[in-house]
Amino acid sequence: MTFQTALGLSVPLAVSIAAFASALGLGKMGAAAMEAIGRQPEAAPKIQLAMIIGFAFIEALTIYALVTMFVLQTKIS
């Protein structure tokens, strides 16, 4: 197996794993935030702010994986 073949198989797999893990993290964080707001509604603004910041960090990691995929795709050909 050549380097290009291995890279061509592993790069899309890695991005799909990163996207799947991101979706799981976003779902778990959103569910926990909604449960926290349900238990303590007066803290909703603080919980929502922390949730949005967390969502941004999780999405940033997924975008980094996507950008890395585009960079590595130039090495395949």
pLDDT for position 4: 85
- Condensed to tens digits (0 to 9), the pLDDT of residues 45-72 reads 999 999 999 999 999 999 999 999 889 8
Is residue 69 packed enough to be buried (19+ CB in 10 Å), middle (13-18) or exposed (0-12)?
middle
Read off the pTM.
0.81
- All domains in the chain, ordered by first residue: 22-76 (1.20.20.10)
- Condensed to tens digits (0 to 9), the pLDDT of residues 15-26 reads 999 999 999 999
Q: Grade residue 1 by pLDDT with cuts at 50, 70 and 90.
A: confident
Is the pLDDT at 77 greater than 80, yes or no? Answer: no
pLDDT for position 62: 92
Calculate the CA 56 to chain-centre distance.
9
